[in-house]
Each structure stands twice: as structure tokens, then as C-alpha cells.
Amino acid sequence: MSAVTYTGARWGSIWMWLAFALAMLLMPRIFASGLSITLLSQMGIAIIACLSYNILLGQGGMLSFGHAVYTGLGAFVAIHALNAWCVASPAFPVSLVPLVGGVAGMVFAILFGYVTTRKSGTTFAMITLGFAELVFAISLMVPEFFGGEGGVSGNRVVGAPVLGISFGPAVQVYYLIALYTLVCVVLMYAFTQTPLGRLLNAVRDNPERVEFIGYNPQRIRYTAFIIAGFFAGISGGLGALNFEIVNAEVVGAARSATYLLFTFLGGATFFFGPILGGVLMVLAFVMLSELTKAWLLYLGAVFMLMVMFAPGGLASLIVINLRLARHGKLRALLPAYGLLAVSSVMCALGFSALVEMVYHRQLNAAMGPVLRFLGIALDTSTAAHWCGLLTYLFIVVSGFEWSRRRFALQWDMQQKRLEDERLRAAVAP
């Protein structure tokens, strides 16, 4: 038995990080439009935010409803730093502004976390919600710092360009964000391989027992909270540089809920889950919201389905299927998967047609009763269209339920086979 097999990882796989770095390096070449650069920049920011949130949620079992307090206050302090220091003294580089945000996030986590992390579970969740409301209320009461309705704006192009980098072009900001993202992701991964990182898992699982192995669970939660606050602040600082404006929205409850939602969707039980969550977050906010007015409704529906059927998020779905594939069990499931996919798409189309018709009737009545949905004209004033849609829904939902049961049966069978094989392998000498 070699030492490596039990000691596990330190910094993680160098190849994995190289691939990650390369992907971030090449992305703006592949998707070179202005919109894609914006999207990519926001993804980096969201990835850091979701990963920092997962230090609380996934690794520490702390359901925070106020993570935006730390990203948001980090953003405000960062934009003030940009406006005050970078303008006054050319020696203070713009590229360090996100770090100022990080320190700010950390300081506020030290202040507020001292109270919130005293308790765990529901009490913790309630107190974080309280702080979120408190900070949001204060942000509207102190326009000198928070800029009131309009927010605080800044200009990231200050001083002479260093090595030709002025941070004027969006792509230059993107590369700064990418660099911060890479460093933060590696650091947050490394954190999971330290004593505190592991004890945080122990506190998540059973805070009481931690007390009987010599550790104070409150101090473990508090320290982790401060670390999460630091990375959250960096994310906020990057956001401030990227948008050059920060308003009260960034500390709002909606923003906190977004971090929770997408960290969960990406998968809180795996380190890389929130990375997927961050990417999804930007795609949903920028692209889904372009497609339809009802995007929040769809998002809510997807969240509910995930909570019910895949509580480990996207990451766990990927990992489970990869495990099946590695043991040659995925192939047998493909037909059932195919049926499930087709019936889900048909269901999703039916439901979204219904949602769009309702939205159209309620919100777009001025544009006439006819709505174009995927090239089909749906007339919201004709009973026949409503009846036809409902009939279609009835059929596809039945079909979906049939294929879902069929899939569940086969899925359980393959999982059982895998388990049997593992048991046999364990018993064999």
C-alpha cells in the first residue's frame, strides 16, 4: 500500500488545472463576440461566488440566505477603492481592486459571522436572512456609501496602461477575471484538503461529536465563514471592475437566493458542482431571460425538479452516470434514456407552450391574441387551441410517466448489478 493511496490530494491534478486554464485562455478566441466575452467574464465571477458559497452550503452544511452581503459589500468597497485610490495614486494598480473587495468581504464576515456562526441549522439560516435584510435596508438608508437608487459608478481605465493593459477593452478585463478565477478555484480546492476543510465536513455531518474530539464547532464554522467571505468579496470586486457600477441590488435577497439556487443546481456535494452552477447562472440570467419573460418560472420549476429527483445537482448526475459508464452499465440504459429524453422534451414543450400562452394573454394582450411559439401560431383567444394544447399535454405527460417508470426500473436494476459486482469484488481475495 503506497502512501499516496491514503494521503490523497493537495493541490489537485495539475493536468486538470492546466485544462481549466487552457479552456479559459481559449474561450474568447472561440467565442469572440462582445456578448460572449461579457458572458465569459460573468461566468468567472459567478464561479467564484458559487464556490465560495459552497464552502458554507456543501462543505459546512450552513444554509446561508445572505451570501450576497459579502459579494455585495466587497463590490461596494472595491468600487470606492477604484474611485479613491486608483485615481489618486497611479501606484495602486487596478488589477488589485478585486483583492480589496476580498479583504472587505473577509472583514464583514469577521463582523457578521461572529454572530451567525454561533448557531447551526435553522437558527443559522434565520440569522443570515436577518443580516441580508439589514444590510439591504442600510444600503438604501446610506446613499453616501451605497449611492442610493443609481448606485456607485466608477471607471476602471485610470492611469497609464501597464504593459499595454489599460483594462479598457472587455477582453482585458476577461483575462484578469480568468486569472482570479483560476487562482481562487485552486485555492478553494486546496482548502478542502486541509485539516480545517475536513473538520468543516465533520461539523456539517455531526457538530456535536466534533466537540468530543477536541474541537470547537463554532470556531470551525466561523473560520470557514471568514474564508468564504474573502472569496465572495473577490467575486464582488471583480464584478465591480467588470460592470463599473454597483447598486443596492448586489446585496439584495434575490442575489443571495440566486447563489443558493445555482450552487444547488450545479451540485453542492462535489467540489466542481458550483463551477457548473456558476456557468448555468450566467446562461440563465443572460440568455434564458432573453428568450422568454417567464424565465424565472422555468428556473423555479427546474429547481423544484432537481430538489425532488436529483438532490446532488448536476454534478452528482454526471458522476453517477460516469460511474455506470466506467463499469459498462450505461450502454444498457441508453434506450431507456432516449425514451426519457424524447418524452421529457415533449412535456417541456407542452408546458412551456402553456406558460407562454398564459403569459401572452396576461402581459402581451396589446400585441393581439396570436403568439408564435417555435414557429407555430397559437391563438390565445380560441378555445380549440387551449383544448388542443391540454389534450397534447395529457398525452405527453402520460407518455413521460410511462417512460420514467421504465427508466427507473432499468436504472435500479443496473445500480443493483453494479453493487453486486462491487460486493463480489470485495469478498474475493
Partner 1 sequence: MTASTWVPALQLRDVRKSFGKTEIIRGTDLIVHSGERVAIIGPNGAGKSTLFNLISGRMPLSGGDILLHGQSIQGKKPFEINRLGLSRSFQITNIFPKISVFENLRCSVLWSLGYGYSFWRFLADMHDANAAALALMERIGLARKRDVLAMDLTYAEQRALEVGITLGGGANVILLDEPTAGMSASETRHFVALIREATEGKTLLTVEHDMGVVFGLADKIAVLVYGKVIAFDTPEAVRADPRVQEAYLGNAVADVQADPVKRSA
Question: Minimum Å distance from CB 114 to partner 1?
Answer: 15
Q: Is 110 a residue that touches partner 1 (CB under 8 A)?
A: no
Secondary structure of residue 153 in the 3-state scheme: strand
Query: Any residues with CB less than 8 A from the CB of 136 and at least 6 apart, and which?
Result: 248, 251, 252, 253
Question: Minimum Å distance from CB 122 to partner 1?
Answer: 19
Question: Minimum Å distance from CB 316 to partner 1?
Answer: 13
Question: Minimum Å distance from CB 411 to partner 1?
Answer: 19
Helix, strand, coil percent values for the chain (each to nearest 5): 75, 5, 20
Query: Any residues with CB less than 8 A from the CB of 124 and at least 6 apart, and which?
Result: 62, 63, 64, 116, 117, 221
The 3-state secondary structure of 69-129, one letter per residue: HHHHHHHHHHHHHHHHHHHHCCCCCHHHHHHHHHHHHHHHHHHHHHHHCCCCHHHHHHHHH
Q: Is 122 a residue that touches partner 1 (CB under 8 A)?
A: no
Q: Is 418 a residue that touches partner 1 (CB under 8 A)?
A: no
Which of 208, 334, 424, 428 lies at the binding interface for partner 1 (CB under 8 A)? 208
Q: Is 199 a residue that touches partner 1 (CB under 8 A)?
A: yes
DSSP strands (E only) in 353-410: 370-373, 376-379
Stretch of 25-33, 129-137, 206-214, 276-284 contacting partner 1, by CB under 8 A: 206-214
Q: How far apart are CA 282 and CA 299, in angstroms?
A: 12
Which of 44, 102, 113, 197 lies at the binding interface for partner 1 (CB under 8 A)? 197
Ramachandran category for residue 199: left, alpha or beta (phi over 0 → left; psi -120 to 50 → alpha): alpha
Q: How far apart are CA 185 and CA 279, in angstroms?
A: 14
Q: Is 7 a residue that touches partner 1 (CB under 8 A)?
A: yes
Q: Is 9 a residue that touches partner 1 (CB under 8 A)?
A: yes
Question: Minimum Å distance from CB 280 to partner 1?
Answer: 24
Among positions 216-245, residues that touch partner 1 (CB under 8 A) are: 216, 219-220, 223, 227
Which of 36, 155, 166, 193 lies at the binding interface for partner 1 (CB under 8 A)? 193
Q: How far apart are CA 189 and CA 233, in angstroms?
A: 17
Q: Is 2 a residue that touches partner 1 (CB under 8 A)?
A: no
CB nearer to partner 1: pick between 211 and 412: 211
Task: Map residues 147-186 to x or -, x wherever contact with partner 1 holds by CB under 8 A.
Answer: ----------------------------------------
Note the residues at the interface with partner 1 (CB under 8 A). 3, 6-10, 190-191, 193-199, 201-202, 204-206, 208-216, 219-220, 223, 227, 426
